[in-house]
Structure 1
Amino acid sequence: MAQNPALAADHRVRLLQGAQELFPALVEAMDAALSDIQFETYIFDFTGSGASVAEALERAARRGVRTQLVVDGVGTGALPDGWARRFASAGVQVRVYSPLGPLGLLLPQRWRRLHRKLCVVDGCVLFCGGINVLDDLHDPNHGALAAPRFDFAVRATGSLVALASDTMDQLWWRMQALRDMRERRLPEALQALRAASAARHAADEVAQQGPAMRAALLLRDNVRHRSRIEKAYRRAIGGARHEVIIANAYFMPGGKLRRALLLAARRGVRVRLLLQGRYEYFMQYHAARPVYGALLAAGVEIHEYAPSFLHAKVAVVDALGERPWATVGSSNLDPLSLLLAREANVVVEDAAFAADLRERLVQAMQQAGRRMEPARYAGRPLGQRVLDQVAYALMRLALWVTGKRY
């Protein structure tokens, strides 16, 4: 069973855990940049180590590197005044994806967010994963954390970098065109749309090159790649022979993905899930729990991570077998990611990479996870079960409002 037809064999991919490993690698690449930096993130927070990334962007722009930053209108919003002035003075170009406006999230179309975390430097190196520009020991809503956030990213070189760069170019020029049209600068808007179309064509050509072997960049959008990431997960789980390990922050899989996990467990594959054990957001925390019952009954192991917030969106399948498969990215296994948001995951078929990721996940489950026993799940207090069902119903209602099936 082929794992993914887009895989190509010309890549070098390195796993990075947490901002403590990602940020120094990002800063090193930005400080060596010669021509351009493209950066997209959901959250850009300047507290603590997040400032080191901002300072690297500022330094690059001051020495003449074309520096483009896109942040999400919900995750980040407008930049702090001081940093906005510093970026403008240095020449860092900043765009805000889908600003909320006066009605905020009351408009369902505003639920489509830029959730991917991508950075391309000089068209040669890509950083992709689930890690925002956010200090490991700081949370905007909860303050200081006692332990670092659990999350991953990758540093990659190879043909997938061009696809990421062209995709980011396409979004940048579309946003530029929208801004020009709002300001009634129609000639500039048409020029920006032509640039976006050219970027899309280039991305299509890159995506079709190379044999199906080692690594690929999977993108999810609301036009042409609506289910690409979910299908990759289902394909890998469906082909699993020995083991599936998934770490996911906001876990509410749809029917097809749930069935893939259940079937894997029933045919003897050891399926382990490392999920959020600390309360972060009402909807994501409680809406996940009603799906636990069937999984536990089929023999799926569920481990809840408690020392800090689990923010990872990674998986590894048959890491010690003949066909190892792993993915690291921004996509949660919930309807917000799989149906609405722009997401990006890197898929890798490499024994050493898969074994490295597996070791870190197993260590987290053994040392920092609390296994959910079926009896403990069934014995949840009535109040918690009510909240779980309310959150689940609200999530289903939100999907109905968007017209999506999941």
Structure 2
Amino acid sequence: MRLGRAREPWRPGNRVRLLENGEEFFPRAFEAIAAARREVLLETFILFEDRVGLELRDHLLAAARRGVVIEMTLDGYGSYGLSGSFLAELAAAGVKCRLFDPRRTLFGMRLNVFHRMHRKLLVVDGERALVGGINYGCDHLADSGPESKQDYALEIEGPLVADIHDFVAGAMHGRDRGDSWRHPPAAGRAAAGDAEAMFLVRDNAGNSTAIEDAYRAAIRAAERDLIIANAYFFPGYGFMRDLRDAARRGVRVSLIVQGEPDMPIALSAARMLYPDLVGAGVEIYEYCRRPFHGKVALVDDEWTTIGSSNLDPLSLSLNLEANVFVRDRGLARDLRRRLDALRRQDCRRVEARSLPRSRLWRTLMAPVLYHAQRRFPTWAGLLPAHTPRVVLVAADPASEA
């Protein structure tokens, strides 16, 4: 795999560890918070007030009471169900808790669906970071039932943590409301391992295509093998062209998507793309054991990415996202082993003979439907009602504006 010099810096000297599902992620996150000496910074899209959310709250309260500075940002759409008492208890203990774009519901419907803060980031003492797609809720644990989610995260130690810390600290103090984030100079931290890694965000300023661009560069550089496992797959024309071109030049291109989706429209959208991809030689697998929530990819056993960004219009055009990109053979082998087991045990392969026969109306309407679905979130996101705001939670809920 040959990648040219990227504009964004790769940081050498990192130690990385792949975490699969809540069973691996939550113990590492809670252990890191319990060991915090100075500071905990946390961003998440969803925090549920269930046994996982309550355990997180207890660890944050214990850390705050021993003098650790704690700041957190929760998305107002994803974490809309939290009670005032839950948040007020954290605020009373000194936790600075912010809600990103909280809005009232209308007839039970949440209206702040666009420009969501979709990142999942945890940074402890500027020394350890956890990045991925896992939210804080029981639905990331297998014992919660058949609707539990399959997902991944990455634990990082080393120089890259300084980049992640700089970003999260800046975002919590206003940088996300218009300014584009740029990587700081190399921090000079001691090496913790052998992995090269890069942290990228997608915002609505100068980094609007950063994550997608990194994906596409890796796809174009692939020489042998490419696996993309993504929950919501509905990318743009250029991304699709890169996948088809890779398959046609002999790269084995595999795509893992939801087969038992938590949102049926996601599977319907992805299936619109199947004929085009399968016709070019792309292997498509639908994961059918439970809802698939991962956002990971692997190229040539050298390059991986793990993060919060789906490959759909919301993530690629509107949401605030964060991914880590890694060049490390050990991590790549670990991710490949897990994805291979997924394909072998819990996926059905989409065969060309199972695709619907081409009909004139479908041939004429498919491009129209494709572009309408691609563009609708962007059109809707231009409405003034969707301009995000960030609210600091008060210790007394009655005192909030």
Q: Counterpart in 2 of 1:272?
A: 254
Q: Report Cα offsets for 1:328-370 as digits up to 9, x if no partner.
A: 1001011111111111111111111100001100100110001
Structure 2: give runs of 5+ residues left out of the alignment.
383-401
**d(CA) in 1 for partners of 2:159, 2:4:** 18
User: Residues 341, 219 of structure 1: CA spacing in aligned structure 2 closer, same or farther, 3 A cutoff?
Assistant: same
SS at match of 1:233: helix
User: Residues 250, 3 of structure 1: CA spacing in aligned structure 2 closer, same or farther, 3 A cutoff?
Assistant: farther
Structure 1 residue 403, shift from structure 2 partner:
8.3
User: Residues 385, 123 of structure 1: CA spacing in aligned structure 2 closer, same or farther, 3 A cutoff?
Assistant: farther
SS at match of 2:323: strand
Q: Which amino acid aligns with 1:298?
A: A
Q: Which amino acid aligns with 1:2?
A: L
Q: Counterpart in 1 of 2:71?
A: 68
Answer 1 or 2: higher relative contact order, Cα 8 Å, separation at least 6: 2
Q: Counterpart in 2 of 1:152?
A: 152
User: Residues 55, 106 of structure 1: CA spacing in aligned structure 2 closer, same or farther, 3 A cutoff?
Assistant: closer
CA contact (8 A) 2:49 2:82 kept: no
Normalized against structure 1, the TM-score is what? 0.83
Matched, 1:226 2:208: yes
Q: Counterpart in 2 of 1:184?
A: none
Q: Counterpart in 1 of 2:321?
A: 343
CA contact (8 A) 1:288 1:392 kept: no
Match of 1:131 among 130, 134, 154: 134
Matched, 1:256 2:238: yes
Q: Which amino acid aligns with 1:135?
A: C
Q: Counterpart in 1 of 2:223?
A: 241
Q: Report Cα offsets for 1:92-145 as digits up to 9, x if no partner.
A: 2210011235678667xx611111100100111110001111224579xxx953
Q: Counterpart in 2 of 1:22?
A: 25
**d(CA) in 2 for partners of 1:8, 1:156:** 12
**d(CA) in 2 for partners of 1:129, 1:72:** 16
Segments ≥4 residues shifted beyond 6 Å: 102-105, 207-210, 384-391
Structure 1: give runs of 5+ residues left out of the alignment.
179-195
Q: Report Cα offsets for 1:4-45 as digits up to 9, x if no partner.
A: 632121211110001110110011110010111000000011
Q: Counterpart in 2 of 1:398?
A: 376
SS at match of 2:254: strand
Q: Counterpart in 2 of 1:42?
A: 45
CA contact (8 A) 1:325 1:354 kept: yes
Structure 1 residue 271, shift from structure 2 partner:
0.6
**d(CA) in 2 for partners of 1:145, 1:218:** 34
Structure 1 residue 235, shift from structure 2 partner:
0.9
Structure 1 residue 82, shift from structure 2 partner:
3.4
SS at match of 2:184: helix
Q: Counterpart in 2 of 1:189?
A: none
User: Residues 397, 303 of structure 1: CA spacing in aligned structure 2 closer, same or farther, 3 A cutoff?
Assistant: same
282-291 vs 332-341, greater mean Cα deviation:
282-291
Output aligned runs, 1:167-316, within 5 Å. 167-174=167-174, 203-206=183-186, 214-316=196-298
Matched, 1:9 2:19: no
Structure 1 residue 88, shift from structure 2 partner:
2.4
SS at match of 1:146: coil
Percent identical among aligned pairs is 39
User: Residues 385, 26 of structure 1: CA spacing in aligned structure 2 closer, same or farther, 3 A cutoff?
Assistant: farther
Q: Counterpart in 2 of 1:378?
A: 356
Q: Which amino acid aligns with 2:303?
A: W
**d(CA) in 2 for partners of 1:380, 1:165:** 51
Q: Which amino acid aligns with 1:352?
A: G
Normalized against structure 2, the TM-score is what? 0.84
**d(CA) in 1 for partners of 2:363, 2:94:** 52
CA contact (8 A) 1:244 1:317 kept: yes
Q: Counterpart in 2 of 1:334?
A: 312
* Count of paired positions: 374
**d(CA) in 2 for partners of 1:205, 1:345:** 19
Q: Which amino acid aligns with 2:280?
A: A
Q: Which amino acid aligns with 2:31?
A: E
CA contact (8 A) 2:18 2:154 kept: yes
Q: Counterpart in 1 of 2:396?
A: none
Q: Counterpart in 1 of 2:395?
A: none
Q: Which amino acid aligns with 2:307?
A: G
Match of 2:344 among 338, 361, 366: 366
**d(CA) in 2 for partners of 1:112, 1:72:** 10
Aligned Cα root-mean-square deviation (Å): 3.4
Structure 1 residue 292, shift from structure 2 partner:
1.2
CA contact (8 A) 2:181 2:207 kept: no
CA contact (8 A) 1:127 1:154 kept: yes
Q: Which amino acid aligns with 1:375?
A: R
User: Residues 208, 386 of structure 1: CA spacing in aligned structure 2 closer, same or farther, 3 A cutoff?
Assistant: farther
SS at match of 1:279: coil
**d(CA) in 1 for partners of 2:52, 2:86:** 15
SS at match of 1:278: coil
